[in-house]
Amino acid sequence: MRQHPFEFPHYVIERVMAKRGRIRVFDHFDPTRTALIVIDMQRFYVEEVETAQSIVPNINRVADTLRDKGGIVVWACMTAGQEGQSLWPVYHDNFFSEAKGARHRDQLTEGSPGHEIWPDLDVRDADLVVYKHRFSAFTSGPPDLDSLLRDRGIENVIICGTATNFCCETSARDAMMLDYRVVMVSDGNAARYDEDHIVGLTTVFQSFGDVLTTDQVCNDLLTA
């Protein structure tokens, strides 16, 4: 199954080194103060995108590692419609054709097949499942994800999911601006196109958080 190729452009590495003098911002996350937030891994987004399906084993691995070390896993899913009405009319009315806007709204309505979490993902009873109505997991509710995390003593956020350059990048930006320490997982995020994936990760890497592989997260970031 095809995965995104990924390497930071040389100019980005040069800019980051000139800015902060090191590649990584964070050497270690206390797992007990860390949440994995999995963004929009629902049938509507995953079914027709091979790269989104390819990251499922990596998401499950990060989730297992974090649970075993005392952290929490949050599944943040999009709900775009309710009883045939859009929950984000400015988006549906202006950024879609009428037919595509209705499909997005209806397939991301609770009870629709597209709204379901992708079946190969390992969702546990102790995990949190929250539903959002905007790109970012931190700007819409209820529930208020920020409050849920603060109440559990969470200081660090790991982002996986789809699409890298839409809901995942937006959630990472908002988390950092709420003073969470943020990591995006390069092979735990996916977009429809390779270029979109690279742009999303590159933006976060420059000013919003670290970008690490699944191996780096599980074997380094979350170990003492």
The model's pLDDT over 162-216, given as tens digits with 9 standing for 90+, comes to: 999 999 999 999 999 999 999 999 999 999 999 999 999 999 999 999 999 999 9
Greatest alpha-carbon span in the chain:
52
Q: Please tell me the pTM assigned to this model.
A: 0.96
Q: What is the pLDDT of residues 8-62, one digit of tens each?
A: 999 999 999 999 999 999 999 999 999 999 999 999 999 999 999 999 999 999 9
- Beta strands 210-212 and 181-190, pairing class: parallel
List C-alpha distances in Å: 21 to 44, 202, 211: 41, 17, 16
Q: Domains for the chain: give ranges and CATH numbers.
A: 32-77+126-221 (3.40.50.850)
